[in-house]
Amino acid sequence: MDHAIQALACAIFFFFFLTGMFITFWVFRCRKPVSTTTTTTTTTTELSSITVVDQIASFDPNLEFSMTELRVATKDFSPEFIIGGGSFGTVYKANLSNGVTVAIKRLNPDAFKGFREFWTEMVTLGMLRHPNVVKILGYCMTSSDRLLIYEFFENGSLDQLLHLEQNQEAATLSWGTRIQIVKGVANGLSFLHSLDKPIAHQNIKSRNVFLDSDFQAHITDFGVARGIDNSTSYASTQSADTMGYCYMPPEFMEGLTSATLEADVYSFGILMFEIATGKRPNLPSLLDGKEVGIVEWARIFLAQDKYMQIVDASILGEDGLIVAHVKEYLEIASMCTSEIRRERPTMAKVLRLLNPIPM
Ligand SMILES: Nc1ncnc2c1ncn2[C@@H]1O[C@H](COP(=O)(O)OP(=O)(O)OP(=O)(O)O)[C@@H](O)[C@H]1O
C-alpha cells in the first residue's frame, strides 16, 4: 500500500472509532437510550476525503428532531430564517414542533477546514455542561449537509450589542450588565481551564459570547478549542492562526503557536477592555496624534489614574458606576493583558478578583 492509501485507511478507521466512542459515551451518560437516532443509510458519501454515513443525534434526551423537521422548520433553509453567518457557514433560527427555538449552524460543505471544526465543536461541546458555555443540542450529518443545533439566544452576540450599527437604536448595556457579562465569561473560562484535561478555547472575542434573555453570557465557537496537556501546559496542536488578530497575545505574534490557557486569559483581558470602553479592539485609538492599540491606550490613562476617561461615554453618569470599582475592573484587565505570559493570573484568580465588584 502506498502512503496515500494508508493515510486514507487510517482516517476512515479514526473517524468510525471516534464516532463509536462518542455515541457510546452519550448512551452511558444518559443511562437510557439517548434520543440518538443514528440513521445509517445505505448511501455513503465522499466528504472532504473521508467517508461519511448519514446520521442525526440529539444530545438532549428531552429533545428529538429529524432532518425532515429541521427542513420543515426552516422552509428548506430559506433565506428568511437566516440570522447570521460566519466563516464556516450560515446560521438559521428555527421553531421546532415541540415549541423549542433553536439556532442551526449549517456548515459550508466545501471547506475541509469546516469538517475539522465540525468534529471539534461537536466532540468538545457535546461533553460540556456549564451555565456559561453554549449548549449544543445535537447534530445532523447527511451526504450534503453538516448541521450543528444549538440553544437559541434572544440577545444575539455581545459584539452586536456593544457595537451597534449607526442606524440601530441605542440599547446601551448598563455598567451592571457589563459586569454580569464579564463575570459570566470568566466563570465559563475558569470552568474550561479547571477540567481534568483543561480546554483552551483559543478564540475568545465578543463575537463568540452570546447573551440570553437575562443577559447571561454563554461562550460559543469551540471549533478551534484544544485540550491542554497538564504536564506541558500547552497543546501540541497549533491553533493560533485562527484567533482574532486583535485578541492575540504578543507571544503568538513572536512565533508561538501552541494553544495555552494564558492566551485565553490575554484574550479575556482584551474583551474586558472592549466591554468597559465600548471600543472595537481592532480599531486603533489616536493618542497625541499617534495610533495605539486598546491595551496601550487604556494603560496610559490608568497610569495617570484617569479611570473614568476610559469608560464608554454612553454609561458615564450611571448611578452604579463607582470610580473604585472601575479602577479594580481595569486593573484586572491590565493584569490579564500582561505582555509576560507567566505574569497573567489564572481564570480562577480572575474570578476571585472580579467577585467583589457589584453588578
Ligand atoms: N445560538 C445562537 N443564538 C442566537 N444567534 C446566533 C446563535 N448562533 C449564531 N447566531 C447568530 O449568527 C451569527 C453568526 O454566528 P457564527 O458563530 O456562525 O459566526 P461568527 O462567530 O460571528 O463568525 P466566525 O465563526 O467567523 O468567527 C452570530 O453573530 C449571531 O448573530
The Cα diameter of the chain in Å comes to 73
Say how many Å lie between the CA of residue 208 and the centre of ligand 1.
7
| pLDDT, tens digit (0-9, with 9 covering 90-100), for 226-247 | 666 665 555 545 444 455 678 8
Question: What spacing in Å lies between the alpha carbon of 86 and ligand 1's midpoint?
Answer: 6
Residue 323 pLDDT > 90: yes
At 15 the three-state DSSP class reads helix
Q: In this structure, how many other beta carbons lie within 10 angstroms of the beta carbon of residue 346?
A: 15
Most confident of the ranges 52-56, 66-70, 124-128: 66-70
Contacts 24+ apart (CB under 8 A), 5-9: 8/49
Which amino acid would we find at residue 158? Answer: L
Ranked by mean pLDDT, the top range of 1-5, 276-280, 283-287 is: 276-280
User: Which residue among 155, 161, 202, 207 has the greatest number of ligand 1 atoms within 8 angstroms of its CB, and so is best to mutate?
Assistant: 207
Read off the DSSP letter of residue 47: E
* Non-local CB neighbours of 278 within 8 Å, separated by 6+ positions: 162, 163, 312, 313, 314
* Atom of ligand 1 minimally distant from the CA of 152: 3
C-alpha to C-alpha distance for 239 and 226, rounded to whole angstroms: 8
Give residue 235's pLDDT.
57
Tracing cell 466591554 back to the chain, one arrives at 275
Element (H, E) at 22: helix 3-30
| Mean pLDDT of the chain, nearest integer | 79
Residue 107's Cβ-side half-sphere holds a number of Cα atoms within 13 Å equal to 29
How far apart are the CA of 174 and the centre of ligand 1, in A?
Answer: 23
Mutate to test the pocket of ligand 1, among 106, 139, 157, 216 (most ligand atoms within 8 A of CB): 157
Could you tell me the pLDDT band of residue 33, with boundaries at 50, 70 and 90?
very low
Mutate to test the pocket of ligand 1, among 82, 87, 91 (most ligand atoms within 8 A of CB): 91
Cα 209 to averaged position of ligand 1 atoms, centre (Å): 9
Q: Is the pLDDT of residue 18 over 60?
A: no
Q: What is the pLDDT of residue 240?
A: 47
Q: How far is CA 39 from the centre of its chain?
A: 29
**CB-defined site of ligand 1, < 6 Å:** 83-88, 91, 103, 105, 150, 152-153, 156-157, 160, 207-208, 210, 220-221
Whole-number Å distance, alpha carbon 246 to ligand 1 midpoint, is 19
Cβ-contact 44, 53 below 8 angstroms: yes
CB atoms within 10 A of CB 26: 19
Q: Ligand 1 centre from 89 Cα, in Å? A: 9
ipTM of the complex: 0.95
**For the residues 51-65, what does the mean pLDDT come to?**
65
The CA 293 to ligand 1 mean position distance, Å, reads 26
For the entire predicted model, the pTM comes to: 0.80
